[in-house]
Structure 1
Amino acid sequence: MSVDLSVIIVNWNTKKLLEDCLSSIFKFTKGISFEVIVVDNGSTDGSRAMVKKKFPQVTLVSNKENLGFTKANNQGIKVAKGKYILLLNSDTYLIENSFPKLVAKARRLKGSTLSRVEPLGALGPLLLGEDQSIQQSVGFFPYLPQIFWWMTFIDDLPGGTILKPYHVDHNSFYRQDRKVDWVTGAAILVPKSVINRVGPLDEKIFMYGEEVEWCYRIKKAGYSICFSPVTKIIHIGRGSQKIPTKSFIGEYQGIIYFYQKYKGRRSLQIARLLLKMGALLRVGVFAILGRKELVNAYVQAFKVV
């Protein structure tokens, strides 16, 4: 039986975060038919037992090992019955009845002025930190100019959104509906019909950058990618990591893979050069500031490029 929305949550040893996420979903969600699918990547912290005991209404997919973010989400997509698919991180939680607002917005955006009469391909909500600060959650494709603006900090300057940066860090950008190139996989709504046409996430990407590649395929197929502050979702995100070295490295690797898949050899070489330049620049800046942990993180990022 079809439902309006399938919420897919990938979990790997985040029992407490997952419990808080699921509790908030069932506390706040009303006025929409939905299902929740948790794909557990071989957790050893009791996550699966917790889900079975406290949330028997949840569909639990259990893996024996950590298959990564993309493969696990694709497992959830395969069993999902919803007309819309929402990929949601386990380190998020609701503070309002977000899902009906998000789905209703997706339906209104279909063929709207914002989507420029293109059918909606993906939609991201406003993400806030636990301190209610706006989180960067959207951006534009990492073409060579975007990488240059990013690596040289130029897109952080006032008015940087004019450059259509890879990461949009300016809070003012998030005050209204926007058409963008990609939205974060921490909370991304995609019509099931779109997935049926363009395919699921690229499983060659273990984690980080998968949403950018997915949105690229979605947009190239003629769909629009949109952001809307119609609802707010709390995303703890990197708050659980003091120095997110893995995410730095993963993001760099994701960009390299993007160029290997879609761009020519010369563009790939230039992208590598820009990323190395940016990593070295950050090593220098953080060395001056005495941030040894960040220096080490960017040294590792430099090596993988």
Structure 2
Amino acid sequence: MVRPSVSVIVVSWNCAALLAQCLASLRVQTGLGELELLVVDNASQDDSTDVARRCWPGARVIANVHNLGFATASNQGLAAASGQLLLLLNPDTVLPQPDTLSRVVDRMVAFPAIDMAGVRLVFADGTHQVGDGGFAPTLGHALAHAFGLTTLSPRWRGLFLQDGSVATPWGAVGWVCGAFTVMRRSAWQRAGGMDESYFLYGEDVEWGCRLNRLGLTVAYLPDIDIVHLQGGTQRKPGDAPGTRWIDGLSQLYWRYNQGRGFGLYRAGMAAGFGLRALVAWPRSRQRAATMVRYASGFWHQQAPSAREPLP
């Protein structure tokens, strides 16, 4: 089998220790030939750029003077890459087996209909990480997620994939998580890169939905795992955990649906998470408080009327 050339793009921001761990796992990947590595650093204040050069002497390091956000930095790397396959890899990921990446590449070779693919993300303890793939932000999908219907029955399809809902070797989905996204150069040339109006959260969902609208196939590979130390490059002191995604999702909903039903979306999402807070209260007040935070976040969303709808 002749394997395509692979370019790996890693966007870093104040994550030197995580980046070293990620690149160490990438270094021991087998069956691929030489990898092209590009590290795009978003004005880190630690030694992330030095770590990249030390861990991978042949890496191309693009050091931004300011933090341009994940989407813009990813696009810088994609534009500079030369591989036939382009892999976006978060610095807070670990490839757990030496053949992890070669299995992904082999899957892309075996199924030429796949234009973009993602894998099963797991936490350090091996449990599945919800949010590694999913479906378009329609009103039905959003409300099914908010009310927790997708956990009750597999016939409910929400924003996120449920573990075990996609059969091996792959299944078509609306989007895959940007922590690990592999894409054919031909698909990138046709669809373009990430939407740079998203600074953080939502750009990967928009990207996958855009590919689908162009008739390209986004695939989820359920039998290939990588470890994702979620949020390891995003949190800053004083951040409320897990709430900034609400702004990204609301922007996505508005643009994908061209503003239709935004009031119902806002009220429904708030009601769904409010109901989940009531259900969670007897078992876990901490989880109930999180659900209340989500409900409040959605209730206070304003219609982003200045934003353009998707083409």
* Fold conserved between structures, TM > 0.5: yes
Q: 1:13 to 1:304 in 2, by over 3 A?
A: farther
Q: 1:85 to 1:244 in 2, by over 3 A?
A: farther
CA positional deviation for 1:256: 2.1
* Residue 247 of structure 2 is aligned to residue 253 of structure 1: yes
Q: 2:222 aligned with 1:221, yes or no?
A: no
User: 2:53 maps to which residue?
Assistant: 52
Residue 203 of structure 1 is matched in structure 2 by 196
Report if aligned partners of 2:144, 2:157 keep a CA contact under 8 Å in 1.
no
Cα RMSD of the aligned pairs, angstroms, is 2.5
For the residue of structure 2 that corresponds to 1:193, the secondary structure is helix
Kept after mapping to 1: 8 A contact 2:116/2:183 = yes
Report matched runs for 1:1-305 at 5 Å: 4-96=5-97, 97-110=99-112, 119-136=113-130, 137-157=132-152, 159-160=153-154, 162-169=155-162, 171-174=163-166, 176=168, 177-238=170-231, 245=240, 247-250=242-245, 252-285=246-279, 289-291=284-286, 294=290, 297-298=293-294, 299-300=296-297, 302-305=299-302
How many corresponding residue pairs?
A: 291
CA offsets, 1:147-195, max 9 Å, x none?
11111111111x33x22221123x3225522221111111111111111
Gaps of 5+ in 2: 303-311
**How far has the Cα of 1:86 moved from its partner?**
0.8
Deviation at 1:87? Answer: 0.8
CA–CA distance in structure 2, aligned partners of residues 244 and 151 of structure 1: 22
**TM-score of the two chains, using structure 1 as the length reference:** 0.86
Which structure 1 segments of 5+ residues have no match? Answer: 111-118
Q: Does the 8 Å contact 2:29/2:102 carry over to 1?
A: no
Change (3 A) 1:290 1:231: closer
The residue aligned with 1:115 is none
SS of equivalent residue, structure 2 residue 62: strand
Distance 1:239 1:72 in 2: 17
Go from structure 1 to structure 2 and tell me whether the alpha carbon gap of 1:92 and 1:173 turns closer, same or farther (over 3 Å shift). Answer: same
- TM-score under structure 2 normalisation? 0.85
Bigger mean CA offset, 211-220 vs 291-300: 291-300
1:28-55 superposed Cα distances (whole Å, 9 cap, x missing partner): 2433342111111111121112222332
Q: What are the superposed Cα offsets for residues 250-302 of structure 1, whole Å, 9 maximum, x if unpaired?
A: 2x222222233232333223222222323433554566642276267423454
Per mean C-alpha deviation after superposition, the further-off stretch among 282-291 and 266-275 is: 282-291
